[in-house]
Amino acid sequence: MITVLRIGHRPFRDKRITTHVSLVSRAFGADNVVVDEKDEILEETVNKVVKNFGGNFEIETGIEWKKYFKNFNGIKVNLTMYGINVDNRIDEIIEKTKNNDMVILVGAEKVPMDAYLMADYNIAIANQPHSEVSALAIFLDRYFKGKELQKTYEGRMNIIPMEHGKSVKFIPGEEESMKLLYNENADEKIIKHVQTVYKLAMSIGRYANADLKLIAAGSLLHDIGRTKTNGIKHATAGAQILRDKNIDDRVVNIVERHTGAGITKEEAVKLGLPERDYIPETLEEKIVAQADNLVAGDRLISLDTTLKNYNEKKLYDAAKKIKELNDELSLICGKNLDEIEKEVNNL
């Protein structure tokens, strides 16, 4: 666990600098930042970045820094231009923090002598004055040997690296998903249906420990294509609407692969769909597809009723796949999906 301790923060003067200290802490591999002065706006800004871009980074403001630094149970580093060159101590610090937490102190203006005396290491990133933001970034980069730059996050917004231009893909939240539906003129029938699928899918998702952000967006948006066509092509039509809006591929795939328990490449060709597999692959894709199989209109229906409906239409293969998917998910949830449906019905 790596904590950055920011002291000397003045909410009005250091707003951007302390935000940058916090964002550098997060992006370069620290787990949390603690700040001496209480600053709710700063907390909000940093929490918003975490919510949008992912990870478990935490911020706390308004702590008594001397007490915190003194009582910290682990290795204490003070970053200062007066210290020992980082390259002469970094291997020792890496070794010592294999089994210990570390706190890294950075200051704003003058840093009190107590910090120098309490620290296990006073470390300089060159013995020249510069900035807490650069000092912290270089220290963490030396500490992680550059590996922190490869770390990926699963946020609501994900940057797609590009040679030129900018591309950000989104996982819409519940409210944004509903807005997308209304913007496409989804009617009452679609809205009620997706909300029922959402309820069931979220419950299954909780039991299965699935990614609920993906399930929420995927279940609410799975039938957005019905605003264009009600036939079998509604799933690909929906996926296209979402691709055009830069929605995250994981959500797009939930939408594209939600029909029945999936459509194989051969079936797709017969149905006039672009030639590829539409089989749900990820846990979240499977959950939304199956929740949809267990909802008729805005009503939950049992697996038996679903299978009966498919068999009556002589869709025996599809019925078999739905049953298998049900068994697979029930096993993952540790509870039969029928039971989960009953719980949702009693809510």
Report the interface residues with ligand SAM, using CB under 6 A. Answer: 79-81, 106-111, 124-126, 128-132, 135
Residue nearest to ligand SAM (CB): 107
Nearest to 193 by CA among 240, 225, 239, 171: 225
| CB closer to ligand SAM, 21 vs 283 | 21
User: Would you say 108 or 180 has its CB closer to ligand SAM?
Assistant: 108
CB of 191 to ligand SAM, least distance (A): 54
Strand ranges, E, within the chain: 2-6, 32-35, 58-61, 75-85, 102-106, 121-124, 157-159, 168-170, 295-296, 299-300
In the bound complex, what is the minimum distance in angstroms from residue 143's beta carbon to ligand SAM?
13
79 and 136 in contact (C-beta within 8 Å)?
yes
Are residues 23 and 140 in contact, defined by beta-carbon separation less than 8 angstroms? Answer: no
Nearer to ligand SAM, 21 or 337 (CB): 21
CA–CA dist 183, 271 (Å, integer)? 29
Q: How far is the CB of 16 from ligand SAM (least distance, A)?
A: 14
Q: What are phi and psi of 84, to 5 degrees?
A: -90, 140
Distance CA 294, CA 283 (A): 17
* Closest to ligand SAM by CB, 117 or 126: 126
What are the angstrom distances between the C-alpha of 117 and each of 70, 111, 211? 10, 11, 46
Min dist. Cβ of residue 176 to ligand SAM (A): 39
Taking the CA atoms of the chain, what radius of gyration do you get in angstroms? Answer: 26
Amino acid type, 52: N
CB of 38 to ligand SAM, least distance (A): 20
Q: Where are the beta strands (DSSP E) in 178-311?
A: 295-296, 299-300
Distance CA 96, CA 19 (A): 29
Query: Shortest Cβ distance from residue 192 to ligand SAM (Å)?
Result: 57
Nearer to ligand SAM, 106 or 329 (CB): 106
Give 56 or 128: the residue with its C-beta nearer to ligand SAM: 128
124 vs 294, which CB is nearer to ligand SAM? 124
Of the pair 107, 218, the CB lying nearest ligand SAM is at 107
Q: Closest distance between ligand SAM and the C-beta of residue 141, in Å?
A: 13
Q: Give φ, ψ of 201 to 5 degrees.
A: -60, -40
Structural contact between residues 236 and 272, judged by C-beta atoms closer than 8 angstroms = no
Least separation in angstroms between CB 71 and ligand SAM? 20
Tokens of 125: 């990133």
